[in-house]
Amino acid sequence: MRTAVAPATLPYEWYVDPAVLRLEQERIFGRFWQYVGHVGRLSEPGAFTTARAGELPILIVRGRDDELRAFVNVCRHRGFLLCEGDGRRETIQCPYHAWTYDLDGSLRSAPRADSEPGFDRKGISLAQVAVDTWGPFVFVNPDVHADPLRDYLGSLPELLAAAGIDVETLRFHLRAESEPYACNWKVCAENFLECYHCAIAHPSLARAIDVSPSAYELETDGFVSTQVGPPRNGGDGVYDATGPIARGQFHFLFPSTAINVMPGQANLSIGPMIPTGAETTVRFLDYFVGADTDDAWLADFLYLDERVGAEDRVLVERVQRGIRGGGLEGSLLLPDSEQLIAHFQALVAEALSSDGP
């Protein structure tokens, strides 16, 4: 039975309907900056890596002129997905009919092209998308006319610097890729954006960080949403949360990039939530550490982080199973404890209603 009064939150249909995802692809993932990987994967000319901007496949390449460029990772001929994984190339050759592109995206050769007078390869090139970096972090934006990444990051660089994180000196540690989540990407985002559930669902995390409303701070600034939590004493098998990083910081850069800094030794994890369908999402997290971060500390910290991730998977997949049947219109949010979700939903609604530039 549907409720008589529509809640002032996003309709649950938006978490299920493929037509909404198509609109999100165009107006959200097609227009905003998204984290795709760390610059260490692209350190020399010819190095490439692949990623996704929402559902759009992306290829990022370091050119012979040392410039980073990003393209739609799709052959202009017949739509073949050009590259997979990462590596190093002199040229980008499509495995289907061997059209070969230069590292700047221009089509260099196509078999038989010269003997077919009706075909002109000049002017054909891979579709370019915007790419930019912040420290070791690489972001793309399918909208080549978007504002620079720096403007979009707002206060985020200062917030991290104030927390004691120097992004320039961070060292890449590992990428953790998880199995697909059986939920809409916005369910993952909203679960990230509140710690109302932490005391109940993450008992170990709640021993490392003070998640009580009096200690745990929430803040929004443009496209950045921030949660800050001081450390607790740890113990009981939880990693040591004391150290130069005095407080945990959990940032969310709209629409889909999560950035975590736990209290203790220097650490940062960053990664996107990527829709692979209206009701499936993939995630990865790139973990970075400081030069002095201790191996034993890191192992304890990663153990906790993995446990928290597994606990969150159960939550988000169960929300999707709850909402997909359509019995209710939308959620009911706590105005203070869940204010970051309200902010996120407002940004989603605004982006979807905008025809764009």
Kindly report whether the peptide bond that precedes residue 255 is cis, defined as omega within 30 degrees of 0: yes
User: Out of 132, 190, 300, 312, which residue is the one contacting Fe ion (CB under 5 A)?
Assistant: 312
CB nearer to ligand FES: pick between 77 and 175 = 77
CB closer to Fe ion out of 105 and 229: 229
Residues 251, 333, 54: CA angle, nearest 5 degrees: 45
C-beta of 77 vs 89, nearer to ligand FES: 77
**End-to-end CA gap in the chain:** 40
Q: What sign does the dihedral 213-341-272-357 (CA atoms) show?
A: negative
Q: Is 97 in the site for ligand FES (CB under 6 A)?
A: yes
Closest CB 311 distance from Fe ion, rounded Å: 6
- From Fe ion, ligand FES, none, interface partner of 96 (C-beta below 5 to 8 A by class): ligand FES
C-alpha to C-alpha distance for 275 and 166, rounded to whole angstroms: 31
Pinpoint the alpha helices (H) of the chain: 18-24, 149-153, 156-162, 185-192, 198-201, 203-208, 295-323, 339-353
197 or 324, CB closer to Fe ion?
197
At its nearest, how many Å lie between ligand FES and the CB of residue 104?
18
Partner from Fe ion, ligand FES, none contacting 77, C-beta within 5 to 8 A by type: ligand FES
Q: Considering CB distances under 5 to 8 angstroms, the limit depending on partner class, which of ligand FES, Fe ion, none binds residue 300?
A: none
Instruction: State the nearest-atom distance from the C-beta of 240 to ligand FES, in Å.
Output: 53
Residue 136 CB neighbours (<10 A):
20
Candidates 15, 71, 99, 181; binder of ligand FES (CB under 6 A) is 99
Per CB under 5 A, which region of 17-25, 69-77, 88-96, 310-318 contacts Fe ion?
A: 310-318
75: left (phi over 0), alpha (psi -120 to 50) or beta: beta
Q: How far apart are CA 250 and CA 143, in angstroms?
A: 27
Q: Are 253 and 132 in contact (CB under 8 A)?
A: no
Q: Is 78 in the site for ligand FES (CB under 6 A)?
A: yes
Query: Nearest approach, Cβ of 202 to Fe ion (angstroms)?
Result: 5
Token output for 25: 């692809």
Residue 107, both tokens: 């089509």
The single-letter DSSP state of residue 32 is: S
- Determine the Cα–Cα distance for residues 219 and 291; give it in Å rounded to an integer: 30
User: Residue from 26, 57, 80, 324 that binds ligand FES (CB under 6 A)?
Assistant: 80
Q: Token pair of 247, please? A: 């407080």
66: its two tokens: 């040392």
Nearer to Fe ion, 305 or 312 (CB): 312
Binding to ligand FES (CB under 6 A): which residues in 38-77? 75, 77
Question: Which range binds ligand FES by CB under 6 A, 10-18, 48-56, 94-102, 324-332?
Answer: 94-102
80 binds, among Fe ion, ligand FES, none (CB under 5 to 8 A by kind): ligand FES
Name the token pair of 216. Answer: 């745990």
Question: What residues line the site for Fe ion (CB under 5 A)?
Answer: 312
Give the binding site for ligand FES (CB under 6 A): 75, 77-78, 80, 94, 96-97, 99
